[in-house]
């Protein structure tokens, strides 16, 4: 279904009102994106969980990373479709997702696999803390949290640049790190607000597992939209994305 375009003479709302406008105005499309993304990551997650619970652990971890090959392309397509909503530009979810997935799959594959590997490492770390009696040194714990925050600050920019800017992957990573720390307050708020749903999920285990159907339906989109509300504006301004796209549309 096509999304409705906001009247051009209408100023965009800001803050919570803008989030509510985009979220509830595109709820059906966000649900579709959520399900598409879950389908893309499901093979890797299932294989990882088999390893996590002791079924041929080492082999399963390796296979889970191989199965993560399409994840990067899916993330790039996901952020493109979601920022398209933030740009108030109408489109068809399946066509947009498929096109950007195929366009970016090759370049995004390795960043996606590295992201998956990092997340699985974090799952193992926090799983050790929550479900075993093993103790972890406070220094290593602090390093783990710091790494998670830095990862969350930089990663959205990586996939935004892959989706919108035609540059090499090494330059994507360098630019993402620079943008993340130049705009550190926004980057931090992006990871904080986007991560709230996952923090709550972990803190309230096992009761929070009752919300699993909601996570599959809309949880990832809710989290990603909160994050992109913070990190999209500096990328858009720096690379003049909306301005360039409008000019192309007028020429075309």
pLDDT at 54: 76
156 and 231 in contact (C-beta within 8 Å)? yes
pLDDT at 197: 87
Torsions phi, psi for 247 (to 5 deg): -65, -40
Highest mean pLDDT among 12-21, 134-143, 180-189, 235-244: 180-189
Kindly tell me if the per-residue pLDDT of 134 is higher than 70: no
Non-local CB neighbours of 101 within 8 Å, separated by 6+ positions: 70, 73, 74, 76, 77
Average pLDDT over residues 22-35: 95
pLDDT at 164: 96
Mean pLDDT across the chain, nearest whole number? 88
Task: Express each pLDDT in 66-76 by its tens digit.
Answer: 999 999 999 99
Instruction: Identify whether 228 is part of a domain.
Output: yes
Instruction: Identify whether 2 is part of a domain.
Output: no
Highest mean pLDDT among 50-59, 61-70, 241-250: 61-70
Q: Which residue has the higher pLDDT, 30 or 252?
A: 30
pLDDT at 144: 78
The beta-carbon contacts of 50-55 under 8 Å, at least 24 apart in sequence, are 52/123, 52/124, 52/127
pLDDT at 6: 47
Instruction: Identify whether 8 is part of a domain.
Output: no
Kindly tell me if the per-residue pLDDT of 227 is higher than 80: yes
Kindly tell me if the per-residue pLDDT of 177 is higher than 60: yes
Average pLDDT over residues 6-26: 80
Instruction: Identify whether 9 is part of a domain.
Output: no
pLDDT at 136: 64
Task: Express each pLDDT in 75-85 by its tens digit.
Answer: 999 999 999 99
Instruction: Identify whether 229 is part of a domain.
Output: yes
Tally the domains of the chain.
1
Instruction: Identify whether 10 is part of a domain.
Output: no
Spatial separation of the C-alpha atoms in residues 222 and 240, rounded to whole Å: 26
Q: Which residue has the higher pLDDT, 160 or 215?
A: 160
Torsions phi, psi for 28 (to 5 deg): -65, -45
Instruction: Identify whether 4 is part of a domain.
Output: no
Average pLDDT over residues 156-169: 96
From the CB of residue 37, how many other CB atoms can be counted at a distance below 10 Å?
21
Q: Provide the pLDDT confidence category of residue 129 given band limits of 50, 70 and 90.
A: low
Q: Can you give the pTM of this predicted structure?
A: 0.90
Spatial separation of the C-alpha atoms in residues 101 and 115, rounded to whole Å: 17
Of the given ranges (13-22, 68-77, 170-179), which has the lowest mean pLDDT?
13-22
Which residues constitute the domain of residue 205?
Answer: 16-251
Kindly tell me if the per-residue pLDDT of 2 is higher than 50: no
Spatial separation of the C-alpha atoms in residues 74 and 38, rounded to whole Å: 9
pLDDT at 10: 67
Instruction: Identify whether 203 is part of a domain.
Output: yes
């Amino acid at each position: 279904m096509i999304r409705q375009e906001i009247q051009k003479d209408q100023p965009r709302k800001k803050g919570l009102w803008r989030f509510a406008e985009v979220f509830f105005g595109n709820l059906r499309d966000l649900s579709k994106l959520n399900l598409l993304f879950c389908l893309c990551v499901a093979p890797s997650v299932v294989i990882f969980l088999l390893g996590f619970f002791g079924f041929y652990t080492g082999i399963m971890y390796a296979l889970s990373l191989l199965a993560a090959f399409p994840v990067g392309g899916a993330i790039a397509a996901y952020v493109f479709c979601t920022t398209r909503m933030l740009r108030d530009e109408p489109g068809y979810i399946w066509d947009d997702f498929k096109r950007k997935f195929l366009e970016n799959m090759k370049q995004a594959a390795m960043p996606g696999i590295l992201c998956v590997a990092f997340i699985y490492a974090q799952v193992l770390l926090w799983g050790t803390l929550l479900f075993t009696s093993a103790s972890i040194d406070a220094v290593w714990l602090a390093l783990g949290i710091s790494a998670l925050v830095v990862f969350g600050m930089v990663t959205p920019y990586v996939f935004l640049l892959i989706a919108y800017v035609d540059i090499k992957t090494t330059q994507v990573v360098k630019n993402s790190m620079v943008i993340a720390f130049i705009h550190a307050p926004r980057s931090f708020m992006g990871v904080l607000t986007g991560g709230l749903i996952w923090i709550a999920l972990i803190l309230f285990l096992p009761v929070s597992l009752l919300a699993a159907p909601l996570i599959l339906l809309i949880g990832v989109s809710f989290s990603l939209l909160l994050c992109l509300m913070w990190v999209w504006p500096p990328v858009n301004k720096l690379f003049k994305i909306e301005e360039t796209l409008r000019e192309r549309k007028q020429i075309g």
